[in-house]
Amino acid sequence: MGKIVAANWKMNLRRQSGCELASALKTDGRECWLFPSFTLLAPIADTLIGGTLKLGAQDLSPELDGAFTGDVSAEMLGDAGCTMVLVGHSERRHGHGEQGELLLRKLKRAAEAGLKPLYCVGETLEEREAGRAKEVVKEHLSVLKDLQGTCAAVAYEPVWAIGTGLTATPEQAAEMHAFIRDELTKLGLTDLPILYGGSVKPGNAKDLMTQPHVDGVLVGGASLKLDSLRAIDDVAREIG
Ligand code: PEP
């Protein structure tokens, strides 16, 4: 498999801008994984039919169906055209207090509904400065032990690099990706791709994606503009 490019649009774009971006990527023949907001999923799914782009949601409910106002179930996401879902993004872990048991329930629910999670892990600046980065990432990964074969990939996203303009150096990314590769091997998840996320831009994509065990990138801010997303995808294709 070549390098993977995944786009997390967070709470951005509207029906027209999202569909235009998706349809331009489809026309280019790109193979990105797109994670738009809930309201854009169904219209974008219609845009993507017949192409190679994959569609995912940014979150899901751990529940099946019922009285959970404001939540969206895994089955609803499948019904809207998703095949993937983000779980454990730092903006959910830190903005909404999601962790351990809840994330495991979400991962299991996604798998039961046939959705492939992109599971995000990563330490805060405080944890890194306290020398705890690997311990934290190991703990985040530990929920995968009972989930053989259900995830699409893991994304290493140091919290201090998300949306801040700070990026892990290629050496920092390489060190953590090698660690994650070892931990996944111990969990029996030898083939799971590991993406890097955190202020990836056209200018740093090559240095990051050429590091060992960096199988692709998860891009936030730079995925909202066609030019920058194309440029990052061009780097991914060039490396192959
Ligand atoms: C993200 O939201 O997963 C992310 C990596 O964002 P950004 O690229 O903007 O740092």
37 lies in which domain range? 4-239
Tell me the H-state helices in 113-209: 125-129, 133-142, 170-186, 202-209
How much distance in Å is there from the Cα of 199 to the middle of ligand 1? 6
Point out the catalytic residue in the list 31, 89, 98, 123. Answer: 89
Looking at per-residue confidence, does 93 or 146 come out higher?
A: 93
Q: Is 85 helix (H, G, I), strand (E, B) or coil?
A: strand
Residue 165 has pLDDT above 90, yes or no: no
Quickly state the pLDDT bin for 146 (edges 50, 70, 90). confident
Q: Whose CA is nearest to atom 2 of ligand 1?
A: 220
Establish whether residue 6 lines the binding site of ligand 1, counting it when its CB lies within 6 angstroms of any ligand atom: no
CA–chain centroid gap for 99, Å, is 16
How many domains are there within the chain? 1
Point out the catalytic residue in the list 31, 91, 127, 157. Answer: 157
Quickly state the pLDDT bin for 162 (edges 50, 70, 90). confident
The 8-class DSSP code of residue 132 comes to: -
Establish whether residue 220 lines the binding site of ligand 1, counting it when its CB lies within 6 angstroms of any ligand atom: yes
Establish whether residue 36 lines the binding site of ligand 1, counting it when its CB lies within 6 angstroms of any ligand atom: no
Question: Model confidence over 86-138: pLDDT tens digits?
Answer: 999 999 999 998 998 999 999 999 999 999 999 999 999 999 999 999 999 99
Nearest alpha carbon to residue 214 among 124, 154, 125, 138? 154
In the chain, beta strands by DSSP E: 4-8, 33-35, 54-57, 84-87, 116-121, 153-156, 194-197, 216-219
- Per the annotation, the verdict on 89 as an active-site residue is yes
Residues across the chain: 240
How much distance in Å is there from the Cα of 223 to the middle of ligand 1? 9
Alpha-carbon gap, residue 24 to 156, rounded angstroms: 28
Residue 51 has pLDDT above 90, yes or no: no
Question: Model confidence over 2-11: pLDDT tens digits?
Answer: 999 999 999 9
Q: Counting atoms of ligand 1 from 1, which one is nearest the CA of 161?
A: 10
Residue 42 has pLDDT above 90, yes or no: yes
- Per the annotation, the verdict on 171 as an active-site residue is no
Arithmetic mean of pLDDT, 21-29: 92
Arithmetic mean of pLDDT, 168-183: 96
pTM of the predicted structure, to 2 decimals: 0.96
Establish whether residue 184 lines the binding site of ligand 1, counting it when its CB lies within 6 angstroms of any ligand atom: no
Confidence (pLDDT) at 164: 82
Nearest alpha carbon to residue 20 among 43, 37, 4? 43
Residue 201 has pLDDT above 90, yes or no: yes
Question: Which CATH number does the domain housing residue 12 bear?
Answer: 3.20.20.70
Residue 35 has pLDDT above 80, yes or no: yes
